Amino acid sequence: MQFLIPIALFLVGNITWSQTIEYKTITVVESIIPNGLGRSRMISSEEPRDYKEFTSSRTAEDDERNKSDRGEIRLKNFDETKLLNFFNLGGIRFQNIAANDAVVTSKLNDLAIQGWELAFVNSGVESFSGESDSNGIFITRYIFKRLKN
């Protein structure tokens, strides 16, 4: 009888250690191009990709560049949610920012209901720098994790 407790603890521990985690990335791109000319979207991939298929190892002896076909990397199955641009003709639109927050929060809440846990958030900006620069985006990546079924 006294041997059953250590065996049970070992089995429970083994099950816990063998759990696999899966990750999901949601990317939000919000335009900061003046006059509302940009495009803002929330993107979620619905098709898996194996990075190994598009990876090559380079060494001093074998310095051949990666020749992966871009067409094979691209995917056709993804969710694209339209968002509003930060700017319009009148300048910054705080209503647009609040609307985007509501839409993104809706997606985050939906993922939480599906068992996804927010693990990391990364963001970056390529900002508009004056009359001669017509570029600008604000990008945020939300990385989620959950136990794989």
Query: What's the pLDDT tens digit per position in 108-129?
Result: 999 999 999 999 999 998 876 6
Q: State the DSSP code for 107.
A: H
* Stronger pLDDT, 5 or 83, i.e. the higher one: 83
By C-alpha distance, which of 97, 91, 55 is closest to 73?
Answer: 55
How many whole angstroms separate alpha carbon 117 and alpha carbon 108?
9
* pTM summary value: 0.77
Q: Which position has the token pair 């963001």?
A: 123
> What sign does the dihedral 48-141-38-126 (CA atoms) show?
negative
> Residue 106, by phi and psi: left (phi above 0), alpha (psi -120 to 50) or beta?
alpha
Considering only CA atoms, which of 134, 135, 133, 115 is closest in space to residue 125? 135
Q: Per-residue confidence at 11, pLDDT binned at 50, 70, 90?
A: low
